[in-house]
Structure 1
Amino acid sequence: MGKILIVDDDKAFSQFLKRYINQHYPVLKVQICTSPVRALPIISKGDVDLLLVDYEMPVLDGDKVVKYACEVGMDKSRIIVLSSRDADFLHEHFPLGTCLAVMNKYEARQKAVLDMVFSSLQRKAAGR
C-alpha cells in the first residue's frame, strides 16, 4: 500500500517530484518510469496505488497510458494526468470522471491538490 508510479519523460521533473514525496510523505514508495512503454508491465501488475502520468510523451502519450491502465483494471480514481498544458485543454481531453484529476505540473497552486492526495494515500498506507 502506498506505491506511486510517475510516468514522465521529463527526468528532472520526475526526480524533483520523487524527492518532494520522499521528504514529506515518507511512508509512500515512489517509482519513476521515463519511458511510457516500460511503465505498462508495472501498471499491469496491479499494485500501483496512484498513477501520475504526463500527457505529452513520445511513443505513447498520457491518454494511451490512462486507457491502458483502465483496461487492465486500474481504478480511474487513482490516476492523475499532469501536463504543461492549461486546465481547459486538459479538461477537454480528460472530461470529469475520466481520472481523479488533471493538473498543470508547473502551476504552484496545483501543489495543494497533490498534497491532499499524497496525504490521504499516506494515511491509508500507514493504516490510519
Structure 2
Amino acid sequence: MGKILIVDDDKAFSRLLKSYIKQYYPILRVQVCSDPVRALSFIRKGNLDLLLVDYEMPVLDGEKVANYAREVGVDKSRIIILSSREADFLHEQFPLGTCLAVMNKYETAQKAVLDMIFSSLQRKAAANAG
C-alpha cells in the first residue's frame, strides 16, 4: 500500500517531486520512470496506488500511457495527468471521469491538491501497516 509511480521525462521535476514525497510522506513508496515505454512494464505489474503521468513526452505521450494503464486494470481514480499546459486544455483532453485529476505541474496552487492526495494515501498505508 502507498505505491506511487511517476512517469515524466523531466528528470529534474521527477527528482524534486520524489524528494518532496519522501520528506513529507515517508510511508509512501515512490518509483520514478523517465522513459514512458519502460514505464509500461511497471504499470503492467500493477499494485499501484497512484500513477502520476506527464502529458507531453517523446515516443509515448501521457494520454497513451494513461489509456494503457486503464486497459491493464489501473483504476482511473488512481491516475493523475501532469502538464505545463493550462487546465482548460487538459480538461478537453481528459474529460471529467477519465482520471482522478489533471494538473499544471508548475502552478503552486496545484500543490495543495497533490498534498491532499498524498496525505490520504499515507493515512491508508499507515492503517494497513498497523
TM-score by length of structure 2 reads 0.97
Q: Paired residue for 2:87?
A: 87
Quick one: percent identity of the two aligned structures? 78
Residue deviations 1:44-97 (CA, integer Å, cap 9, x gap): 111111000000000000000000000000000000000000000000000000
Structure 2 counterpart of 1:71, one-letter code: E
Q: Judging by fraction of residues, say which structure has more helix.
A: 2
Task: State how many pairs are aligned.
Answer: 128
Q: Paired residue for 1:39?
A: 39
Q: Paired residue for 1:67?
A: 67
TM-score by length of structure 1 reads 0.99
Which consecutive unaligned segments of at least 5 residues does structure 1 have?
none
Query: What is the CA–CA distance in structure 1 between the aligned matches of 2:50 and 2:41, rounded to whole Å?
Result: 15
Structure 2 counterpart of 1:22, one-letter code: K
SS in 2 for 1:126: helix
Which consecutive unaligned segments of at least 5 residues does structure 2 have?
none
Q: Paired residue for 1:26?
A: 26
Query: What is the CA–CA distance in structure 2 between the aligned matches of 1:126 and 1:43, rounded to whole Å?
Result: 23
Superposed counterparts of 1:86-125, under 5 Å:
86-125=86-125
Query: What is the CA–CA distance in structure 1 between the aligned matches of 2:12 and 2:42, rounded to whole Å?
Result: 21
Runs of 4+ with >4 A deviation: none
Query: What is the CA–CA distance in structure 1 between the aligned matches of 2:48 and 2:37, rounded to whole Å?
Result: 16
